[in-house]
């Protein structure tokens, strides 16, 4: 079997799946460029961060220390990106309502 097929059949972690889906949503938002998709992507970031924290709380005894720290760092980075996007595009957001 080729390396590509081995990579496709490899099991990915929950954290990787959430990060890939969030990154895909943000890329789609940047490509599309309208307010609706921007709001959807902004709502997805704190929702996914909350889901990762719930996952961390539920599975805290079975996760290794590295996995716990990677979830905490990932949540901090995603929320930092959320704040950055909200702060940078804040004035542009309110122009859609006026």
3-state secondary structure the chain: CCHHHHHHCCCCCHHHHHHHHHHHHHHHHHHHCCHHHHHHHHHHHHHHHHHHHHHHHHCCCCCCHHHHHHHHHHHHHHHHHHHHHHHHCHHHHHHCCC
Number of domains comprising the chain: 1
Average pLDDT, integer, range 68-88: 87
pLDDT > 90 fraction of the chain, expressed in percent and rounded: 12
Q: What is the mean pLDDT of residues 43-48?
A: 89
Domain residue limits at 31: 3-95
Share of the chain above pLDDT 70, in %: 78
Average pLDDT rounded to a whole number, residues 20-44: 81
The more confidently predicted of residues 34 and 95 is 34
How sure is the predictor about 34, in pLDDT bands with cuts at 50, 70 and 90?
A: confident
């Amino acid at each position: 079997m080729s390396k590509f097929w081995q990579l496709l059949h490899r099991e990915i972690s929950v954290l990787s799946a959430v990060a890939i889906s969030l990154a895909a949503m943000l890329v789609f938002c940047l490509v599309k460029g309208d307010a609706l998709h921007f709001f959807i992507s902004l709502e997805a970031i704190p929702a996914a961060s909350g889901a990762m924290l719930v996952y961390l709380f539920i599975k805290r005894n079975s996760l290794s220390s590295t996995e716990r720290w990677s979830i905490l760092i990932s949540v901090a980075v995603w929320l930092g990106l959320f704040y950055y996007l909200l702060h940078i595009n804040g004035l542009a957001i309110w122009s859609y309502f006026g």
